[in-house]
Chains A and B, each alone.
Chain A
Amino acid sequence: MKDFTLIPLCQLPMGRKGRVIKISTKGKERRRLLDLGLVSNTNVVALQKSPSGDPTAYQIRGAVIALREEDAFNVLIEL
């Protein structure tokens, strides 16, 4: 419907907050992301990148989780 407003989590600017809309991968990867609590409507804050630019630390449901770019790419969010 309004897919055009969605961006992958890895493009969330540092310090900004986004809301998870959907996860665009299947199977094992999907489970792993869901296990982190990344279900629809979850708020995520991008905290900081590692010294080499990847991975990035995110604040998810009270925990700080580092995700590699290719994994964060599969989480679609709305700013």
Chain B
Amino acid sequence: MGLTVNSTGKNIVSDFNNFVVKTQDEFLVSLAGNPNVGKSTVFNCLTGLNQHTGNWPGKTVVNAQGRFKYKGEKFLLVDVPGTYSMMSNSVEEQIARNFICFGNPDVTVVVADATCLERNLNLVLQILELTSSVVVCVNLMDEAKKKRIKIDMDSLSKSLGVPVVGVSARKKEGLNELMESVYKIACGEVETNPIKVNYDPIIEQSVKNIEEYVNADLHQNNTRWVCLKLLEGDLSIINDIKENMALNLDGNIQLKETLQKEKEWLKRNGMDEDSFRDIIVSNIVSHAENIAKKAVRYENSEYNTKDRIIDKIVMSKIFGIPIMIMLLGTIFWITIVGANYPSEILASGFSWLEEVFSRLLLSIKTPTWLHDMLALGMFRTLSWVVSVMLPPMAIFFPLFTLLEDLGYLPRVAFNLDYFFRKSCTHGKQSLTMCMGFGCNAAGVIGCRIIDSPRERLIAIITNNFVPCNGRFPILIAIATVFFFGMKGTVEGILPTIVVTGIVVLGVYMTFVISKLLSKTILKGVPSSFTLELPPYRKPQIGKIIVRSIFDRTLFVLGRAVVIAVPAGIILWIMANIHVSGLNLLSHCAAFLNPFAQIIGMDGYILMAFILGLPANEIVVPIILMSYMSAGNMLEYESLTQLGTILTSNGWTWLTALCVMIFTLMHFPCGTTLWTIQKETKDIRWTLVAFLLPTITGIVMCFAITSIARIFGLA
């Protein structure tokens, strides 16, 4: 139901083509390349935009476009998905191929990895069959230099017949030369003469025989490619050709007949679809090998020994998984211990601001009720959100980005793949799960990298089982408050263990629920997958801090603030309108309370989760606000004070634990639900994604509460 080829691949492709809006006076430049070769960095350098980058394959699924100017000409740069090939039919490849082929870019820049050139040349050669207006950008020259890999650009350029530019995008080296080459091709100042990969004489003869009929319809420079695809007979590519090119395949009788004849002839010569493709691929691969042999010199044949040694440790049988958990734990620990101090500084800052704000309101003679609503309702909610959330985010995100930049995430996928396979799901789900740690909505969109609709749905539905940006601060704040001051332990070690445990539980539940889905409503076997483990790269610390603060921290905080402001006002109103002696908040909470008690929480907490649907970030502030019987929130002072408020309202360690578990497992936030609906185009799957984590959370909290109560633990 719902997720058919039609609702995924095709739509994304047409979305993509619609989304590029070029004006008359601009040149259109497409940016292609293998995954994980620094395409996003090149894109950012050229356009000055800030697309999030990371050292793991398959990051760019949702594409970016940006503009740059060079020598007075305007260029529109479109980032197409990274692919290893143009011949298979994954969604990314289809998007990339169709854009380069049918999107009529004036120039295509193919970004290649200098440390792994031979493999990248495969794609370069395939793109050269699609278009001749190509510039090859050999990126990561700085990494290659470190590994003492020498690349002869002239030889490469001569072999390929197109301009080749060496670039170190991260150091902003070589970008001018790159723009110069793009400019020259776009303006027609340079003519390219791309290498033609010659295939078996039998194939070449067939191409020649149908080429004239194809040429009659098409006036493009890639008729050779069209002929090859027609002969090969891959229906999905042929359909794309039919839809996008002026080739009249059904009406052109001569072409149809000749094609039929040639195909029979090929078959008589032992070339069915599979062996035809074998010949094509083998030829391209061996060409790439020869070109690389001529142009690349490894001065140190052991250039990747260091990576292999690190791999041996972080992916070893004994240490692999413990190291993974330890790394995660260390990040939490630093966050928990470090977040306390800035939190208090922020608190005093806000207290001062509130006074200023309040005096300002009074000076313009604001009525008391409005003053209270704005200053004590809106502003205080806001200051709670910022003071509780900002410090952990500002520490956690740079640390997480650091791991991403290093290239550690694919290793996580490698370590965990066995469990995903056991759950009958796709190996790439571990990558989309990692994306979920950032933002579940992003994780859901990221599931586009999974081709099989069944496995994609599972990945989408279970993405919410790992805590996102908005939920980490809740976990960290509550864990810190309730488990920080334990005697006889290293500072912050217990909350670290608790938060790490919650995250591990989330990952574990991802496997359990995935397996459950694969055995029931989404039956099937896992499809094959391949995972590249890219070379480790030295992270750029400065850039990481800037990027993670601007791209993630401020983004999440901004979202929280936008929702906290109206929520603060509504809450204040609910807390100050009294019906038969009680305010509205208490009425709602009293209604929810009996059920909430069963699962170890109280009515206010459950209500906060429901009101927090637009953004989980405001759950804690709502709980606090609700507890203030006077109808106003207390001013935020410190985390200790947060603890005092909670315990005085009946919180025990059990309440804290249940709230944390429910934070991990309840309905996805509004944005994520909306994204799931958009991606699956079926309300039933959205409903499943809503109910599954909620029911799991309720069941688990109920079980823990019952056990704790039976044994008299709380």
Show the binding face of A for B, using Cβ within 8 Å.
26-32, 34-37, 39-40, 42, 47-55, 57, 61-68, 70-71
* Complex contacts, A57 vs chain B, CB 8 Å: 311, 315, 414, 533
The answer to whether A66 and B528 touch across the interface, beta carbons within 8 angstroms, is no
Name the distance in Å between B8's Cβ and chain A's nearest Cβ.
16
The answer to whether B285 and A39 touch across the interface, beta carbons within 8 angstroms, is yes
Name the distance in Å between B96's Cβ and chain A's nearest Cβ.
13
* A34-B418 contact in complex given A50-B315, A66-B533, C-beta closer than 8 Å: no
CA distance A49 to B620 in the complex (A): 44
The answer to whether A55 and B417 touch across the interface, beta carbons within 8 angstroms, is yes
* Complex contacts, B417 vs chain A, CB 8 Å: 50, 54-55, 66, 68
Could you pull out 30 A-B pairs where Cβ atoms are within 8 angstroms?
Answer: A28-B88, A28-B89, A30-B274, A31-B87, A34-B277, A35-B87, A39-B281, A39-B282, A48-B311, A48-B312, A49-B317, A50-B320, A50-B414, A50-B417, A51-B415, A52-B418, A53-B317, A54-B417, A55-B418, A57-B315, A57-B414, A62-B119, A63-B116, A63-B119, A65-B533, A66-B531, A68-B528, A68-B529, A71-B529, A71-B530
Of residues 37 through 88 on chain B, the ones whose CB sits less than 8 Å from some CB of chain A are: 84-85, 87-88
Cross-interface CB contact of A65 among B118, B316, B532, cutoff 8 Å: B532
Name the distance in Å between A25's Cβ and chain B's nearest Cβ.
9
- Greatest chain B CB density within 10 A among A36, A50, A53 is at A50
The answer to whether B84 and A36 touch across the interface, beta carbons within 8 angstroms, is yes
Cross-interface CB contact of A35 among B281, B308, B318, B418, cutoff 8 Å: B281
Name the distance in Å between A75's Cβ and chain B's nearest Cβ.
11
CA distance A34 to B308 in the complex (A): 24
Of all chain B residues, the one with the shortest Cβ separation from A26 is: B274
Show the binding face of B for A, using Cβ within 8 Å.
84-85, 87-89, 115-119, 122, 274, 277-278, 281-282, 285-286, 289, 307-308, 311-312, 315-318, 320-321, 414-415, 417-419, 421, 427, 528-534
* Complex contacts, A29 vs chain B, CB 8 Å: 528
Name the distance in Å between A15's Cβ and chain B's nearest Cβ.
10
* A67-B321 contact in complex given A37-B119, A52-B419, A57-B414, C-beta closer than 8 Å: no
Known: A35-B87, A68-B528. 16 other contacts (CB 8 A): A35-B122, A39-B282, A48-B312, A51-B315, A51-B318, A51-B418, A52-B415, A54-B417, A54-B421, A57-B311, A61-B289, A64-B307, A65-B531, A66-B531, A68-B421, A68-B427
Name the distance in Å between B277's Cβ and chain A's nearest Cβ.
7
* A34-B530 contact in complex given A48-B311, A51-B316, C-beta closer than 8 Å: no
CA distance A61 to B292 in the complex (A): 11
CA distance A50 to B312 in the complex (A): 10
Cross-interface CB contact of B530 among A51, A54, A62, A65, cutoff 8 Å: A65
* Complex contacts, A67 vs chain B, CB 8 Å: 530
* Complex contacts, A50 vs chain B, CB 8 Å: 315, 320, 414-415, 417-418
The answer to whether A61 and B274 touch across the interface, beta carbons within 8 angstroms, is no
CA distance A59 to B242 in the complex (A): 39
How many A-B pairs have beta carbons closer than 8 Å: the answer is 112
Name the distance in Å between B9's Cβ and chain A's nearest Cβ.
14
Of all chain B residues, the one with the shortest Cβ separation from A55 is: B417
The answer to whether A61 and B418 touch across the interface, beta carbons within 8 angstroms, is no
Name the distance in Å between A2's Cβ and chain B's nearest Cβ.
20
Cross-interface CB contact of B282 among A30, A40, A47, cutoff 8 Å: A40
* Complex contacts, A55 vs chain B, CB 8 Å: 414, 417-418, 427, 531
Name the distance in Å between B390's Cβ and chain A's nearest Cβ.
37
* Complex contacts, B88 vs chain A, CB 8 Å: 28, 31-32, 35
Name the distance in Å between A48's Cβ and chain B's nearest Cβ.
6
Name the distance in Å between A49's Cβ and chain B's nearest Cβ.
7
CA distance A65 to B532 in the complex (A): 4
CA distance A74 to B317 in the complex (A): 25
Cross-interface CB contact of A62 among B116, B320, B529, cutoff 8 Å: B116
* Complex contacts, B418 vs chain A, CB 8 Å: 50-55
* Complex contacts, B308 vs chain A, CB 8 Å: 47
* A66-B414 contact in complex given A31-B88, A35-B88, A54-B421, C-beta closer than 8 Å: yes
CA distance A27 to B277 in the complex (A): 10
- Greatest chain B CB density within 10 A among A30, A53, A63 is at A63
CA distance A33 to B10 in the complex (A): 24
Name the distance in Å between B535's Cβ and chain A's nearest Cβ.
8
CA distance A48 to B307 in the complex (A): 13
Of all chain A residues, the one with the shortest Cβ separation from B528 is: A71
Name the distance in Å between B591's Cβ and chain A's nearest Cβ.
48
The answer to whether A32 and B528 touch across the interface, beta carbons within 8 angstroms, is yes
The answer to whether A37 and B317 touch across the interface, beta carbons within 8 angstroms, is no
* Complex contacts, A27 vs chain B, CB 8 Å: 274
Of all chain A residues, the one with the shortest Cβ separation from B324 is: A51
* A34-B278 contact in complex given A47-B308, A57-B414, C-beta closer than 8 Å: yes
* Complex contacts, A52 vs chain B, CB 8 Å: 415, 418-419
CA distance A22 to B165 in the complex (A): 36
CA distance A34 to B275 in the complex (A): 11
Top 9 closest A-B pairs, CB basis?
Answer: A52-B418, A51-B320, A35-B85, A66-B531, A39-B282, A64-B533, A34-B281, A71-B528, A62-B116
* Complex contacts, A51 vs chain B, CB 8 Å: 315-318, 320-321, 415, 418
CA distance A54 to B315 in the complex (A): 11
Name the distance in Å between A9's Cβ and chain B's nearest Cβ.
12
